[in-house]
Structure 1
């Protein structure tokens, strides 16, 4: 029987989803990829399931969301930040967007447009080390890197908090997705059980991640337990729909996309 190939982001926030899979290496292959790379890997049939960036789902076709889990925040997220070099937010003219990101690039545009009435020029941030240079007025950085930037000299916008203040709903960064025609018996239960298992061992995960990232364990533990939310309930789905509506308004997605769930 072929192994199940699961694509996930390499960041700390995904580790509770896959912690239990290390004991199932004979049945499951875990493949790591940045958010901007995973959708194409699913499209090319290199993977069976991916942790799909929300905007990737709305831009794609022939995908369904596996219910029960997401990577979300309900306020501060800590790992999706806009680092502002300009003297004030209203002086932002150029924004460099993290090349690894899809969803947070669109979120940045929504926040700056709808919350701060700004329409800057957007360019790509290829090398995160260059955010300390002043070639842009603001820099979007995502994932573990966003938690490790030296913040002196920047004004910081946490985009999870900015979204919550704009909409009053959780923001969903990624969801489990497979192709509509997939035949994956028991996949919803497998992923939900894995999440529950990982969250039971969040202390152990925090230990490992603190060592890997050279960060304090308490900060990792707070992030995994408080900042990141892992469910996909009614409020998260409302937040996801709201994100689609805003993305449509600014021309980032096509009309008529529905949220469809995978039924085994």
Structure 2
């Protein structure tokens, strides 16, 4: 009996188009869902064979190869990675970071430092989306939870939009990776086909996700077709490299990291 390929994926709506085409292959593929910050450890410990990981973790490790042509990214407003603040952005002194997303935490630090010239005190939290339970000035919330916050009570900063205004480039939140020393024949094609199947079925996904999240179908469809992008082309790679440079200058990643693609 052939051993199933174990894929570590995030449980958020933004990843559903990437895995939709895998749901019909349960005899060959097993999907394991976890928050982004835990998937790299699972990959390192061989609990999974392939993973969607935060882009910053790719640069921190140095042991991964990226599956080409696929990402979770945005070019402008992303909707699901936001800072919600009780005070004007320029007045933030203490910010709580959603510890489930390492890339978004790093992006928060970069945007507040480079664009707003702020170096607030940072704390961690995982209170989902009940901002009232934190006594900080602001909170970073990601994923489905960010889309559920009724934000008219807060000053909001969409980090995808902030990054685009700052750099003019897309922002890459996550990529599929394998270990560099691990060959998995056909994995690039498998994941590419799964992505294409998901994009073809995005309207069906929007209906399913609207029921799951109690959001309107139109909002889910707009999110999956306009806010989130799934390619990893020249502009996305340039955005990824620019993110690395800022993260490196802020001491968030080591020097000398290179983008290496998987070739199997």
Asked if these proteins are the same fold (TM beyond 0.5), I'd say: yes
Structure 1 residue runs without a partner (length 5+)? none
8 A Cα contact 1:85 1:134, kept in partner: no
Q: CA deviation at 1:91?
A: 1.0
TM-score for both structures, normalised by structure 1:
0.98
The alignment of Structure 1 onto Structure 2 pairs a total of residues equal to 263
In the alignment, what sits opposite 1:201?
201
Q: Distance in 1 between matches of 2:166 and 2:198?
A: 31
Q: Distance in 2 between matches of 1:261 and 1:126?
A: 33
Q: Distance in 2 between matches of 1:150 and 1:129?
A: 10
In the alignment, what sits opposite 2:105?
105
Q: Distance in 2 between matches of 1:161 and 1:183?
A: 37
SS of 2:23's equivalent in the other structure is helix
Structure 2 residue runs without a partner (length 5+)? none
> Considering only aligned residues, what root-mean-square deviation do their CA atoms show, in Å?
0.9
In the alignment, what sits opposite 2:244?
244
SS of 2:62's equivalent in the other structure is coil
Instruction: State whether structure 2 residue 122 is matched by structure 1 residue 119.
Output: no
In the alignment, what sits opposite 1:226?
226
Structure-to-structure mapping, 1:35-50, within 5 angstroms? 35-50=36-51
Q: What are the superposed Cα offsets for residues 169-194 of structure 1, whole Å, 9 maximum, x if unpaired?
A: 00000001000111111111111111
In the alignment, what sits opposite 1:33?
34
In the alignment, what sits opposite 2:189?
189
In the alignment, what sits opposite 2:260?
260
Structure-to-structure mapping, 1:147-226, within 5 angstroms? 147-226=147-226
Q: What are the superposed Cα offsets for residues 60-114 of structure 1, whole Å, 9 maximum, x if unpaired?
A: 131111101000000000000000112x111100000002110000000000000
Q: CA deviation at 1:152?
A: 2.6
**Structure 1 outlier segments of 4+, above 3 Å:** none
